[in-house]
Structure 1
Amino acid sequence: MKKLVALVCAALVAGTAAAAPGIPKGFLLYEKAAAKKDDDPETSWKVSDSLRTPLAVDPCGKGAVGRAGRLAVRTVTFIGVPDFMKVEQVLLYGSRTGAEQAMTQLRGGLATCGTKKDAGSTYRYVSVPVAGLGDDALKVSGQVYYGGKAGVGGDRSVVVRKGNAVLVYLWAGEYAKPVKRDWADQLRDATRMTAKVCAVAACK
Structure 2
Amino acid sequence: MIAALMLAATVAVPNNFLLYEKEAAKKDNDPETSWSASGRRTAPLVVNPCQQAKLGQAGRTQARTLTYTAVPDYSKSEQVVLYASASAAGKALRDLEAAVRACGSAAYRYSAAAVALGDKGLMVTGQAYQGRKAAVGGERAIVTRRANALILYTVAGEWGKPAKADFMRQTSDTKRMLAKICTLADC
TM category (shorter chain) comes to over 0.9
Displacement, 1:21? 4.7
Deviations 1:176-197 (A, max 9, x none): 0001110000000001001110
Q: TM-score, normalised by structure 1?
A: 0.85
* SS at 1:202 equivalent: coil
Runs of 4+, deviation exceeding 2 Å: none
Say if 2:33 is the partner of 1:49: no
Say if 2:153 is the partner of 1:169: yes
User: Structure 1: which 5+ runs fail to align?
Assistant: 1-19
Evaluate the alpha carbon distance shift between residue 35 and residue 24 of structure 1 in structure 2; reply closer, same or farther with a 3 A threshold. same
Count the aligned residue pairs: 178
Cα pair 2:11 2:184 within 8 Å, conserved: no
Deviations 1:125-161 (A, max 9, x none): 1111012x10000001000101011111100000000
State the partner residue of 1:11.
none
Amino acid in the other structure paired with 1:71: T
- CA distance in 2: counterparts of 1:46 and 1:165, whole angstroms: 21
Say if 2:133 is the partner of 1:149: yes
Displacement, 1:108? 1.1
Displacement, 1:63? 2.1
State the partner residue of 1:126.
111
Say if 2:158 is the partner of 1:178: no
* SS at 2:179 equivalent: helix
State the partner residue of 1:107.
97
- CA distance in 2: counterparts of 1:53 and 1:187, whole angstroms: 23
- CA distance in 2: counterparts of 1:88 and 1:105, whole angstroms: 19
State the partner residue of 2:5.
none
Say if 2:79 is the partner of 1:94: no
Amino acid in the other structure paired with 2:178: T
Deviations 1:57-87 (A, max 9, x none): 1111112221111111000000011100000
State the partner residue of 1:10.
none
- Cα RMSD for the two superposed structures: 1.1
- CA distance in 2: counterparts of 1:46 and 1:112, whole angstroms: 29
State the partner residue of 2:59.
69
The partner residue of 1:116 within 82, 85, 105 is 105
